[in-house]
Amino acid sequence: MATPSPQARMSTPYLHTLLSAQKNAYDRQGIPSLEHRLASLDTLFNILKANQYTIAEAISKDFGHRAQQETQLAELFLCIDGIRYTRKRLKKWMRPQKRSTSIWLLGSGNRVIPQPLGVVGIIVPWNYPLFLCISPLIGALAAGNRCMIKMAANSYHLSQLLEGLFAEKFSADMLTIAHGAKGAEFSALAFDHLIFTGSSNSGRQVMRAAAGNLTPVTLELGGKCPTIIAADYSITKAAERLLFSKCLNAGQTCVAPDYVFVPEGKVDEFVTAAKTIISGRYASIESADYTSIIDDKAYLRLKSTLADAINLGAIATVLVPNSQANEVTRKFPPTLLTQVKGTMRIMQEEVFGPLLPIMAYRHIDDVLGYINSKNKPLALYLFSNDKPLQNKVINKTQSGGVCLNDAALHVGQHDMPFGGAGESGMGQYHGIEGFMAVSKLRPIFKQARFSSLSMMYPPYGKKFDRLIKIMLRL
């Protein structure tokens, strides 16, 4: 395909042309072999390894500033490690699976074969633009699919970079970045599967658009992820761990702790510990280690959310000494909020920033009741070494994932699926579950030389009656 102009790349006709080219290539070339899939994963691996610093620079430009170390840890490493994990296991995942055969079909056989769906669309958010692009892409390529990717508008520099890097190593009918494509137009394409990561409201729009083509969707959405610190657990240790996840990417993380339950009488201890921990990690919010808020709209939303909480009686504690929000650099200081109320916006909307509400509790049942009165979160965090309590919280709540004694780390486990529940999403990717999500488990039945079913062909009579009675007793 000829390289289109920037304006043409945004057009619906070009997107349809690109999709048709990928579908035609799939029909023409058929199901790719193990060797072909491994070669695609190797190519992707080499692109990331060779361009890791350029990628980190592009992401930092998109944010205004993001620490290179955060990109290395939370994006590049997880992507590269995910490819390694998949390459080692792909041959096993691709094997046909034998299945049992109904007893009345003697000598026949059943098996299912994982086969690619065809062309997979991937819509990527801006907050972890590399990881949330590459992670579902690994599963799609491993399953033998061709892929079209739409990056977020806020990921302009990374999108432009990946478009060029992919174009050098992959044909457009195999893998391409649809740089500049509009979300509504991309979602309405007749993909064989569509993977979307983003907000719940946007997820509804994507699902409506995909429904026109009966395109199956995987939706990884957001929500308010609750954190519980139990009475048996060290307040300081819990604060050290959960505040790392909360401040990573300046809290712009779908699985960041959104609010924290602290045992009654220990709120002040948590606030004191948090101030010591964060002031030791960031001398200033202008530190190169601290990330900017993505754009002016998001920055102003956080300011408005904080102001609303304070106006309604919340007490704000800035955790970095002598720091205040900077509208020029869009740096927003990590801030705790105590004495929060349910009427405050911060308790109704996903925070998606470095604001952390703290609520005191007396009884764990009150905590579980509160969590269960809300939409199912993408993640739930419990800090406790009490196994009966761990089991109680797991069994009496629902969420996309759970972390015990830390936060957000379940997302980086390649051997576990990542996905939401209810408002926080549907479907999953990562590992074998991600591979299967973009595969068709194709059932294949093989009849024996002699068909035992032939004894039951019409005309029906006494022989049929005797056989069916025997079969119904088995």
Catalytic residue among 75, 220, 350, 423: 220
Contact (Cβ atoms closer than 8 angstroms) between residue 451 and residue 427:
no
Tell me the CA distances in angstroms from 98 to 115, 321, 452, one per residue in order: 15, 63, 21
Question: In angstroms, how far is CA 15 from the centroid of its own chain?
Answer: 25
Residue 153 pairs in a beta bridge with none
Catalytic residue among 79, 225, 254, 403: 254
Angle CA(114)–CA(143)–CA(169) in degrees, nearest 5? 155
Quote the tokens at residue 450: 């002699």
- Which among 373, 372, 390 is positioned nearest to 381, based on CA atoms? 390
| DSSP strand pairing (109-116 vs 97-99) | antiparallel
**Is residue 254 annotated as part of the catalytic site, yes or no?**
yes
DSSP 77-106: HHHHHHHHHHHHHHHHHHS-EEE---TTST
Count of residues for the chain? Answer: 474
**Is residue 403 annotated as part of the catalytic site, yes or no?**
no
- Which among 238, 269, 280 is positioned nearest to 381, based on CA atoms? 238
Q: What is the rounded CA–CA span in Å between residue 264 and residue 258?
A: 19
Q: What is the rounded CA–CA span in Å between residue 448 and residue 455?
A: 14
Q: What is the rounded CA–CA span in Å between residue 102 and residue 77?
A: 47
Exposure of 388 by Cβ count < 10 A (0-12 exposed, 13-18 middle, 19+ buried)? Answer: exposed
Return the active site residues: 220, 254
